Structure 1
Amino acid sequence: MTTWWLMRGDVRVGELRQYGVDQPTFLCHFVSGPGWEAVRELFEAWAAVQGPDPDGSRNAEAIRPLMDLGLTLHPSDGGSPLTCFKGCILRIYGDRARLRY
């Protein structure tokens, strides 16, 4: 199974360890890193968006600050990094994460 490092510049925000697939989403365990506290509230705000969002405005409002962080995912196998919210969508719920790219 794949492991990714979630980075904000040179700071490791956390680590995602894949444990399964719910096509087209990779299911991961999330282990926080030194940069997690600086971004935690933004991921929690997006996770709190529940229920219908017909025009996508509530999700867009929650995602915008995350997009502005410039987060990247670096696969442990040395593959090319992914830019979060451009090359992939990442949702983090406590110690679990869902990744789609």
Structure 2
Amino acid sequence: MTQWQLLQGDVLLGELDEYGCDQPFFLARFVPGPGWENVRFVIEALTALRGPDPDGSRTAAVLKPLLDLDLMLVPVGGGRSLLRVVKDCWLRIDGSEARLRY
């Protein structure tokens, strides 16, 4: 399984360690890093988004700030390409658990 660093520029926001799969998502343990508190509220807003969103307005309101953060997942030890959050992959973090789709 892959290990990832969640980065905003050079700032480490946290680390993910994949441990399983619940198709179409990979399951990972999440450990916050030094920059986590600066972005936590934006990522938690995405995690809290549940239920129908017929016109997509609720999702758009959450995704815009997330896109503006320009977050990247960088594989530890290589072997995979880096992933831009939202553009290349879908990431949900809920406490110490993460779901990643790429």
Q: Which runs of 5+ in 2 are unaligned?
A: none
Give the match's secondary structure for 1:53: coil
Which one-letter code corresponds to 1:58 in the other structure?
A: R
CA distance in 2, matches of 1:28, 1:45: 19
Length-normalised TM-score, structure 1: 0.94
Superposition pairs for residues 25-36 of structure 1, below 5 Å? 25-36=25-36
Cα RMSD after superposing both structures: 1.0
1:86 equivalent to 2:80? Answer: no
Q: Whole-Å Cα distance in 2 between the matches of residues 50 and 14 of structure 1?
A: 24
Deviation of 1:86 after TM superposition, in Å, equals 0.5
Map 1:1-101 → 2, pairs under 5 A: 1-78=1-78, 79-101=80-102
Q: Which runs of 5+ in 1 are unaligned?
A: none
Alignment partners' CA distance in 2, 1:57 and 1:77: 38
CA distance in 2, matches of 1:61, 1:92: 18
Q: Which runs of 4+ in 1 moved over 2 A?
A: none
So what's the TM-score if we normalise by structure 2?
A: 0.93
CA shift at 1:69, angstroms? 0.7
Cα offset, 1:68, TM superposition: 0.6
Q: Distance in 1 between matches of 2:58 and 2:64?
A: 10
